[in-house]
A and B are shown apart, each in its own frame.
Chain A
């Protein structure tokens, strides 16, 4: 029984990361109709920037976190305002290809400037554990779940309760009407990019201590895509549910299934959902209004 609880909690922690990454993907997708492949590499680059600030420049941890998030936000804003805006009106495919190209460029830049070796940085929670009724939880896991929860709640509050957030929803539902209502759609799009960039940076900084600061960190985006499909494409609650579920499934698969399934199970889930239940768990029942 303890094993099951332990696995569930570990799974939730890694799943919370998947959920946050998936949340960023869905947010950009809903607001701009672009599947943003830069997300994973920005996450990876942010972990390197965080390492540079904490280990090389010896900045305090929290300051480094803030600075990294700010850098990622500014980068994403500029990327949208200067690059992505140029292909507005092109087929969706163009946006996907453009982001893939930028993602590879970013990966190359990181690899060139930092070198290929993995590294690590200390956090206030490294090697700390909390005992909760027989279950041992790494503090890092708690921090990850708490951050994911906070970011999600803040985002929901922003999108539902603030005028700017409702305007973002409006622009994604009917862009023409949004323009004609005087909503600064282009700026809002850049704002969404900045927000998702910030989320990617947070994810990178949270994920790196559980593994290592490494180029391969961008792979988490593929897992997040599986989470997005599992939860229902375009649904924000679905992305979060899908991420958490996927994390838990992976943990259980790692213990109860033969070796090697742990890494494959996300893709098996992806294939299974697409074949059997393409709408996903919480996909839009009403379809898309054109």
Chain B
């Protein structure tokens, strides 16, 4: 990390409720310029709520979200997107009856400048060649993987300075998941876009990202660089499915009744 520069996105003590149900509580996250940060967690940990709160889809109960030093919590999602912080929501949210090209052009509403629009379009088609071949088809007719690519491509048309990805691997084959994460790396490397990606697939997310957070039941329970996280026993055992914990006397691993300590 580069502690001298302030983070481009800084979440402080964020708390969100769905009616009487607390979804996330006391969440602190920093995303530094040009880095990839991942938030891992099981179903219902509050990962999507976190991203939706940052992007302005849900209003937080308390806490702050600072984007480039300006508080953005409580703003409408379209205003946040126009600021340059763009969320790719969970589950391939495309415009089903617009063509692939029209879908992509919708992303350009949030651009700061119309300059370089065609170049960006060409670059996105270069990253996702499948989309080029289906330029004139309706978004709803694409396969799941292609729809995910289309959603990511649409977000990139905004030239965001921060990209939020909500489970890009959801429902995709292992091969497609690798492909998507390879593109995530390239986006980060070629455009210097800072990326916050929420994932259940811990192995590929930790391999792709620079820093990681682990969320359980609406709270952050562990944080560190991905290299640090990958060697933690609890992470290994509960997220990477690897060998964690001490072997029992008979040499087999006891994989139950063990408590997570997050140390």
- Contact surface of A with B, Cβ cutoff 8 Å: 163, 166-167, 169-170, 173-174, 176-186, 289
Contact = CB atoms under 8 A, between A and B. Distances in A.
A167 B88 CA distance: 18
B95 A170 contact: yes
A177 B78 contact: no
B113 to A, nearest CB: 13
Contacts of A185: 78
Contacts of A170: 95, 98, 102-103, 106
B222 interface: no
B109 A183 contact: yes
Contact of A181 (B76, B96, B106): B106
Given A177-B151, A181-B78, 5 more contacts: A166-B102, A170-B103, A177-B93, A178-B78, A180-B89
Given A174-B94, A177-B151, A166 B158 contact: no
Contacts of A184: 78, 109
B109 A167 contact: yes
Contacts of B57: 176, 179-180
Nearest to A185: B78
A169 B81 contact: no
B93 A182 contact: no
A41 B53 CA distance: 41
B110 interface: yes
Interface string B148-174: 000100110010000000000000000
B94 A177 contact: yes
Interface residues of B, number: 29
B158 A182 contact: yes
B21 to A, nearest CB: 17
Contacts of B93: 174, 176-177, 180
Nearest to B154: A181
B142 to A, nearest CB: 13
26 contacts: A163-B105, A166-B102, A167-B106, A167-B109, A170-B103, A173-B95, A173-B98, A174-B93, A177-B151, A178-B78, A178-B106, A179-B57, A179-B76, A179-B77, A180-B77, A180-B89, A181-B81, A181-B107, A182-B81, A182-B86, A183-B78, A183-B106, A183-B109, A184-B109, A186-B76, A289-B140
A166 B55 CA distance: 23
Q: Which of B82, B87, B94, B95 has the most CB of A within 10 A?
A: B95
Given A166-B105, A169-B95, A177 B89 contact: yes
A238 to B, nearest CB: 15
